A and B are shown apart, each in its own frame.
Chain A
Amino acid sequence: MTKKSIVIFLATFLVFFALLSCKKRVEIKPPAPPSQKAEEKAMPVEEVKEAPAVAKPELSEEEIFKAKTLEELNREKPLQMIHFDFDKYDIREDAKPILEKNAEWLRRHPTVKILIEGHCDERGTEEYNLALGEKRAKATMEYLVALGISPNRIKIISYGKSRPLDPGHNEIAWAKNRRAEFVIIAK
């Protein structure tokens, strides 16, 4: 008997034996029945929720604006105030971007009419401050008009030094009080 024939014999025997044993195992091991516990874990919990509230139809910016009273609008201060230098009424560089923003808002709301209030600090006399406050309001108005806002939409008024924002008697208070404020008077 040659070495080759021994190998073939052994291989054939192994294959046969293996096949025999495979078949046997399949028959012996049926699938195990799933246990009671496992079945419980697998059950998904369904969270019970209320139906979502009925949404109100989404409002456009225009509609939100229309729904507000003048008082509510003014409380939100959509138009920012600007400040002035001591004894001066020309528009400062830092006020220009603020006025541009204000003009943009006014263009978006073309029905709005505004009142520009000119105010002064306490370091001016009563009479001269009334004039200076009006000059400030007027300079502010003219800047907005130059940006394309109709002068018919703007009124001006001066309060002189009678309505300070900050009642203090120092540079910080004075700087705050030299201002032009915007009040929406019609929409």
Chain B
Amino acid sequence: MRIFKVYLSFIVIFGFLAIVAFNQQEVVIRIKGGMPAIPVALPKFIIHSDNPKIIKAAKEIHDVLKADLKFSRVFELVPEEFYSYIKLLDPNNILFKDWESIQSNVLIVGEVSSSKDNKLIFTGSVYDVRSGRFIFGKKYRGSSNLVRLIAHKMADEMMKAFGEKPVFTSKIVFVSDRDGNPEIYMMDYDGYNQIRLTFNDVIDTLPALSPDRTKVAYTSYRRANPDLFVFHIYTGKTIPISTKGANYAPSWSPDGKKLVFCSSRSGNHEIYIVDEDGKNLRRLTFNKAIDTSPDWSPTGREIVFTSDRSGSPQLYIMDAEGTNVRKISYGGTYHDSPSWSPNGDKIAYVSRVENRFDIYVLDLRTNEIFKLTENNARNENPSWSPDGRHIVYSSNVSGTIQIYITDYDGKNTRVLTSKGNNKMPDWSY
């Protein structure tokens, strides 16, 4: 519980600073301690069309936006039945007192119409209910198959307006054997739009999505050796990065220009840094033990990794130059797959106890450990959401290996995949 409170107060402080830093418009956010979820009213959108396609699209945007805001843990939705207590929304004459009376702090007014070229137009206007002030507005135009993206973009704008990092247009890359053998796939944060990226008909594994979401670094056995490649998702180009020895477990630097990864090119598993085009390879560790699973800190100044130099796999942090190595894990005999939180204060990792793997979160400031999963299964490869409030991981709890998302406190666990086995998720920044 204490760790929980500490975390929340950090979110509050960080969130507030972020607002001060980014937002010069005067947005007043009332945080009353405890859970800082902001109550949002999201009444039905106003539809300026008789076209059944537009009517259907409007409902879908509303549903997706609602799901996004619910997921966020930043906002909470005012129960819809409350809307019946007050007058119908008139976008030209909003009665803010009414909206305040049903305990909403923020009101989202959505309007949907169709353009001359038969595209969909969505307008979202966001108001601070108490002051009646217009906070921001967004207008999107797109074909009707893009309604989910339009809703996610609007939800991201909500996050930004309230000093949070956008989450909803982020992507998750993962490995699936649904088409016969392990290949790399990509999906939206909510499990929609699952698409296949690689077609090598061999093992493709351990993908890492670049911060700009245009590249995937991954290991492929396509040349009968585990080599590291960077695949440019939108040009189709694949560039070999490291092809001597075994090469795997890449992690992108926060600026997206470098990769840190594990290679046995010297004859032993060591950590290396390389430019995203495969140039300027530099070795960071010099140790007889296995050094693997590196992950960059959000500042780019440090790297967390796994090493069995003490006799069993444990977590260590070093400076990005390879110096100043210190052990950070304790209280277990087998730790791996560290993932550094985007706020820099936490590391999620896998710990093995008996034959179970669970996801744990280590708070680097307090040195406290929080156990995130508890399901008598193998839970692996945690990766943080861009805002640090959610963690994606794989689990065999259902009998097959599938990808799950849970919140920072282990609540709201939900499954994202179902076809074949799906594992090794990596969530973009």
Contact = CB atoms under 8 A, between A and B. Distances in A.
Contacts of B246: 130-131, 134, 157-158
A116 interface: no
B206 interface: yes
Given A130-B246, A130-B248, A135-B290, A125 B226 contact: no
Given A130-B246, A162-B205, A125 B357 contact: yes
A146 to B, nearest CB: 16
B352 interface: yes
Given A135-B290, A159-B203, A128 B226 contact: no
Contacts of B221: 157
Contacts of B248: 127, 130
B259 interface: no
B292 A162 contact: no
A158 B334 CA distance: 20
B262 interface: yes
B293 A128 contact: yes
Contact of B306 (A123, A128, A134): A128
Interface string B252-274: 00000000001010010100000
A159 B352 CA distance: 20
Chain B contact patch, size range: 20 to 34
Contacts of A162: 182, 203, 205
Contact of A123 (B352, B423, B424): B352
B313 interface: yes
Contacts of A124: 334, 352
B378 interface: yes
B157 interface: no
B203 A128 contact: no
Given A130-B226, A134-B246, A125 B205 contact: no
A166 interface: no
Nearest to A127: B293
A114 interface: no
B169 to A, nearest CB: 27
A132 B381 CA distance: 17
Interface residues of A, number: 19
A125 B337 contact: yes
B224 A125 contact: no
A24 to B, nearest CB: 106
A125 B336 contact: yes
Contact of A128 (B205, B225, B292, B424): B292
A122 interface: yes
A128 B313 CA distance: 8
Given A131-B262, A131-B290, A134-B264, A126 B226 contact: no
B68 interface: no
B249 A123 contact: no
A150 to B, nearest CB: 17
A157 B226 CA distance: 8
Interface string A84-113: 000100000000000000000000000000
B355 interface: yes
Interface in A124-159: 124-128, 130-132, 134-135, 138, 157-159
27 contacts: A122-B378, A123-B352, A123-B355, A125-B313, A125-B337, A125-B350, A125-B352, A125-B380, A126-B337, A126-B423, A126-B424, A127-B206, A127-B292, A127-B293, A128-B290, A128-B308, A128-B334, A130-B248, A130-B249, A130-B292, A131-B246, A131-B264, A132-B290, A157-B224, A157-B246, A158-B246, A162-B203
Interface of B: 182, 203, 205-206, 221, 224-226, 246, 248-249, 262, 264, 267, 269, 290, 292-293, 306, 308, 312-313, 334, 336-337, 350, 352, 355, 357, 378, 380-381, 423-424
Interface of A: 87, 115, 122-128, 130-132, 134-135, 138, 157-159, 162
Given A127-B248, A135-B290, A162-B182, 5 more contacts: A127-B292, A127-B336, A128-B290, A130-B226, A131-B262
